[in-house]
Amino acid sequence: MLTGTHRFPRQDQVTYGRPAAEVVRELAAEWGVRRILITTTASLADNLAATTAAALGELCVGVFSGVGAHSPREGVIGGAAEARRLDADLLLALGGGSVIDATKVMQLCLWAGLDRVAQLDAYRAGRGPDRVDVTKVVAGVRMVAIPTTLSAAEFTPFAGVTDAAAKSKEGYSHPQLAPRAVILDPAMTRSTPPQLWFSTGMKAVDHSVEQLCNPERAPYADALSADGLRRLAKGLAATKARPDDLDARLECQFGMWLAISGAGSGRGMGASHAIGHTLGGSYGVPHGITSCVTLPAVLQWSASAAREQQALVSKLLGAAGLEAATAVGNLVRSLGLPADLRSVGITAKDFAAIAEHTMHDRGVRSNPRPIAGPQDIVEILEIAAG
């Protein structure tokens, strides 16, 4: 008999297909919000963020654009300081996964009174017995997310932040870390660079595939992941053919929402995500691109332990009869994305260090073919090298 627990993020709502600023105004009125701080990146500050700020008018008290790729700690502390300075009563994360993850942890900084980078150490996941029990930190100022990519960070109660000095990605979690509301407005994705859109789409594909291929079954999560993968395959192909098709972009957003929702089963992702965390946090490979180069290799290495699940993956991608590794690799190339480690500057001399670091990631314990040690990771990297 199957046993398990599915945990839902503590979100009030997800609104889709409507103008984002219009929805934010409605939420502000409903929640009694008067002072909104937009958090974003420098690349969005003068266009999308400025336009959104203007649309919000007196509700927007500022724009913080100090969030960098992979959510460095310094940007998190800086954003929290700006929120305090402006007495913001709502954070509005506008951007991709780095912005949304950083804003999640800004919330934690506001709730716990953290104002120095070093203070984050005691709150990170996986720390030893001196770790603060974050579940006892009382939530205060919350956030709303308007995603511009398909990373799906807005649907989870955990976040990844980079310790630049240590060159490592750290996890943070809290039951109320997920945005209080998410707004899926496909029009807000029009200016997202194609490579970023498609590569984060591959990250969403990775979410679905590693849920479906997990050695543990969870029917609710499996159903979400399967429909998410089907929608992603359809939506990504359509946006490649017709970049201005808002229905196709919304289909991608539905797909990534469903794909990540399976993670609520708690069974974790697999080796593709584990290796991707190392490539992103320690080697600066963009999120999404990591999935492009790791997922086909992990599928090939794990095929003998997940034949039935991988056959379903191929079918959902519209490639029934092909090996799943081939089907995913073909999708990567059809979207014009890097398909091997050499394309992102990773060579054989890096493999041993990547493997050792990756063995500390919980994803290695959720792979369908068990990973016994660093040498197994090296074998996957050798496949990914092309």
User: Over the chain, what is the mean pLDDT?
Assistant: 96
* pLDDT (mean) for 148-163: 95
* pLDDT (mean) for 303-320: 98
Q: In 169-245, which residue ranges form alpha helices assigned H by DSSP?
A: 194-212, 219-241
Tell me the per-residue pLDDT of 318-327, one tens digit each, with 9 for 90 and over. 999 999 999 9
What letter represents residue 90's amino acid?
L
CATH 3.40.50.1970 fits 13-188, yes or no: yes
Name the percent of the chain lying above pLDDT 90: 91
Can you read off the two tokens belonging to residue 121?
A: 């150490």
| Rounded Cα–Cα distance for residues 159 and 282 (Å) | 17
Tell me the per-residue pLDDT of 230-279, one tens digit each, with 9 for 90 and over. 999 999 999 999 999 999 999 999 999 999 998 889 898 999 999 999 99
Whether the CB-CB separation of 147 and 138 falls below 8 Å is answered with no
What letter represents residue 201's amino acid?
G
Quick one: pLDDT at residue 129? 77
Quick one: pLDDT at residue 164? 85
Distances (CA, A) of 357 to 83, 170, 281, 350, 354: 35, 13, 11, 11, 5
Tell me: pLDDT of 1 over 80. Answer: yes
Tell me the per-residue pLDDT of 76-131, one tens digit each, with 9 for 90 and over. 999 999 999 999 999 999 999 999 999 999 999 999 999 999 999 999 987 777 78
> What is the pLDDT confidence band of residue 212, given thresholds at 50, 70 and 90?
very high
Quick one: pLDDT at residue 244? 97
Quick one: pLDDT at residue 377? 98
> What is the pLDDT confidence band of residue 169, given thresholds at 50, 70 and 90?
confident
Quick one: pLDDT at residue 166? 84
Tell me the per-residue pLDDT of 314-357, one tens digit each, with 9 for 90 and over. 999 999 999 999 999 999 999 999 999 999 999 999 999 999 99
| Rounded Cα–Cα distance for residues 260 and 287 (Å) | 15
| Rounded Cα–Cα distance for residues 321 and 162 (Å) | 40
Domain ranges of the chain: 13-188, 194-384
Tally of CA atoms within 13 A in the half-sphere of 266 that contains its CB: 7
Quick one: pLDDT at residue 6? 92
Kindly state the DSSP code that residue 138 receives in the 8-state scheme: P
| Rounded Cα–Cα distance for residues 146 and 94 (Å) | 5
Q: pTM for the full model? A: 0.95
CATH 1.20.1090.10 fits 194-384, yes or no: yes
| Rounded Cα–Cα distance for residues 230 and 70 (Å) | 28
**Is residue 31 helix, strand or coil?**
helix
- DSSP string of 64-78, one letter each residue: E----TT-BHHHHHH
Nearest by Cα to 36 from 181, 220, 201: 181
Can you read off the two tokens belonging to residue 76?
A: 């998190």
